[in-house]
Amino acid sequence: MQLEDSVQFLKGVGPRRGEMLEKAGLCTLEDLLYHLPFRYEDRRSITTLRQARLGGEVNIVGRVSGLREHRRQGRRGGVLRALLTDESGWAELLWFHQTGYFKERLAEGSLWLVHGRVEAAPRGGLQIVHPEIEALEAGEGGQANLRALAAGLARILPVYQKPGDIPVAAMRRIVGQVVDGLATEARSVVPESVRSRASLMPVAEALRYVHGPPGDADIAALAESASRAHRTLIFEELFALQVGMTLRKAERARQPGIAMPRADERIRGYFARLPFVPTLAQKRVVHEIAADMAAGQPMNRLVHGDVGSGKTVVAFAAALQAIAAGYQVAVMAPTELLAEQHFATMRPWAEAEGLDIRMLTGSLRSTAAREVREAVAAGHTQLVVGTHALIQQATGFARLGLAIVDEQHRFGVLQRAAIHSSAAIEGDKEGPRADTLLLSATPIPRTLSLTLYGDLDVSFLDELPAGRRPITTRVIRTAARARLHERMAAAMREGRQCYIVYPLVEESEAMDLADATSMAEQLQAGAFREFRVGLVHGRMKAAEKDAVMRRFKAGDIHVLVATTVIEVGIDVANATIMVVEHAERFGLAQLHQLRGRVGRGSLDSFCCLVADVGQSAESFERLRVMERTSDGFEVAEADLKLRGPGEYLGTRQSGVPAFRAANLVRDGELLTMARKEAMAWLAQDPALARPESAELRRAIERRWSSVLGLAEVG
């Protein structure tokens, strides 16, 4: 039995279960060894049926009788019922799945230790649905002896996430085989001096503890993954990842870059010409960027800024430094409309500086596009704004020095790596690399930032410009929708515009939710018949979508009915009301992004979150976070705690590594500690060449190198 062996060859697995395990990412015995329980069952106390509380989990010693199976009318499969009796009463045991398996095991009169949740049976009495059962051997001494037998089985049992229809007990046996056979083969990746400071257990001991806690273990600490054994395994994982992140950052720093002298006087002149005073946060971030660009390594900096915090002002200051040093700048946005907004914002600034600024997007006519590309290739154009096609289609730059990528939060680690690797000047992969400045309007909690962007330098624009009026946010129930529509109509009669966002594009039989398409028609014919209602959603062709958004921006459309396609992009100062229908279906961070579509000017703005009256009190309380704060970072922290990182960012594009033991919501303190220790260790052993780093090096090469895009470790 070896750690790298396939799960297929384990006893009790076989081809069918092996395929299910592999689909769940459990391909090797090492994967199973680190497949930790997601909860624990406390089976240390034995009780009687008379003592059982409804809704509570119990361990009962009893005898099975009255076994019968019957079909369910109109449904596939049957129900197996068994009567369990002890000295105090009786309860019915029910199985709706695997009835044949349990029917074979449950002989009339056999004795069992039964674990499960006690419920009230519909026809009176007690029932336990899908209990776990363990056979007891009958002996002399009556009920007291049975209790003694059961006490030998009393323990804390791990419960594992299981793929397909593998029974809980079978999954426990499968993992148990691997723990028994291979736990001693596990090696710590954390050097001994770090392990001592962090008070970690030996890894083999930690694995045995987590998979098979002793009878005196603290069940609360186990449930919260706070035992010393859990902390050991979590720290091991986070330490290796943070070392890998730091190596990735160091690998980039070793690449040849461009030292662009600071252009402080020119930037001060640019600031002086702005019709507003830049915030202290903007000045601080511009200073951080300027220092990066003046160094001889490629800049890889991320600027986090809430909606309206002035990222474009900062980006243009960086562009001025590159241009002053004789280089060109590319500004890339995810949509043509957003690229056009950047172009419209930067154009007067560029013209005031005497710069040639062009725009290059996919919809530009071929002749015009060719002219722009020729001007860029010849070096006549210093600043070009467009979509990501600027890099993906290998636009030839005479001397590209800075790539600015907006709304980069849509890209994970590997997608971002593609942007970095494309930033080599003049296509010379061995030559100096252009600096990269990434912008994000999605505030990211600290734990996610350290994990997603641990390989980058991060700046925070945590101050809104003066004059920005706060957006009033209210959570309302569907019954108040008519009054809301009246308020919207009154605002539109005064010349204002509104958004209404729905979760669905079209009506769905699977979900009882209003959809954008049919509601746009209803609103045009009903509540807003005196106004022009527009519709935009993700299934529309880019040109159609663009045309509707342009009409809204021009004021030709009064109410824009949309899906979350408008979450990022359009900037309409005249739009003052944002309504989100079925708001309970959206994450808080997404609601915050939608809220940021209004309040773009000096007018009072409102965001109304319409929630279903049938939703729980918890759903409404979650939404009321939006009423209490307009701070994007507070909203992001709350959203992360509620939904977890995968759902928070969108599982497929999140870029979050798949953790075995760590949880970014729960383990922020350990993550910070692991990062500090990782950086300190690499300061001593930057190439991981010491013998104490051997296991760490192997672990990063095996597990993290492809995730992080590391060319080599050390």
Smallest CA-to-CA distance from 521 within 540, 538, 544, 500 is with: 500
The parent domain of residue 586 ranges over 471-629
CA distance 413 to 154: 46
How far is the C-alpha of 574 from the C-alpha of 562, rounded, in Å? 17
Contact indicator for 289, 317 with CB cutoff of 8 Å: yes
Give the pLDDT of residue 23. 87
Q: Considering its fold, how many domains does the chain have in total?
A: 4
**Same domain for 389 and 421:** yes
pLDDT in tens, 244-282: 888 888 877 788 889 999 999 999 999 999 988 999 999
- Indicate whether 233 and 278 sit together in one domain: no
Residue 37 lies in a domain: no
Scanning 110-167, the segments in alpha helix (DSSP H) are 142-153
Q: What is the arithmetic mean of pLDDT over 172-186?
A: 92
318 plus 419 within the same structural domain: yes
How many other C-beta atoms can be found within 10 angstroms of the C-beta atom of residue 628?
11
Is 684 a domain residue?
yes
Specify the range with the lowest mean pLDDT, choosing from 84-88, 132-136, 341-345, 494-498: 132-136
- Whole-model pTM: value is 0.68
Alpha carbon of 398 to those of 374, 377, 380: distances in Å?
Answer: 10, 5, 9
148: confidence class by pLDDT, cuts 50, 70, 90: low
Determine the pLDDT at residue 654.
Answer: 43
Residues 557 and 442 in one domain: no
Q: Is the pLDDT of residue 402 over 70?
A: yes
Q: What is the CA 112 to chain-centroid distance, rounded?
A: 44
Q: What is the DSSP string of 430-457?
A: TSPBPEEEEEESS---HHHHHHHSTTSE
Instruction: Note whether 445 and 586 are same-domain residues.
Output: no
Residue that wins the pLDDT comparison between 156 and 589: 156
Residue 657 DSSP label: -
Q: Give me the CATH number covering residue 125.
A: 2.40.50.140
Residue 576 lies in a domain: yes
Alpha helices, H only, 541-615: 542-553, 588-595
Of 414, 431, 461, the residue that ends a domain is 461
Q: Determine the Cα angle at 189 with ends 186 and 192, to 5°.
A: 105
In a domain, 635, yes or no: no
On average, the pLDDT of the chain sits at 83
Tell me, yes or no, whether 87 lies in a domain.
yes
In this structure, how many other beta carbons lie within 10 angstroms of the beta carbon of residue 512?
Answer: 10
Query: Of 461, 489, 513, which marks where a domain is finished?
Result: 461
One domain, residues 235 and 289: no
Assess whether 446 and 346 both reside in one domain: yes
The whole-number pLDDT of residue 568 equals: 56
What pLDDT, in 10s, does the model give residues 658-684?
788 988 778 888 988 999 999 999 999
309 vs 158, residue with greater confidence: 158
Supply the pLDDT for residue 437. Answer: 92
Which amino acid is located at 237 in the chain?
E
> What local confidence, expressed as pLDDT, does residue 361 receive?
81
Report DSSP state, residue 692: G
Is there a single domain that holds both residue 437 and residue 483? Answer: no
DSSP state of 472: E
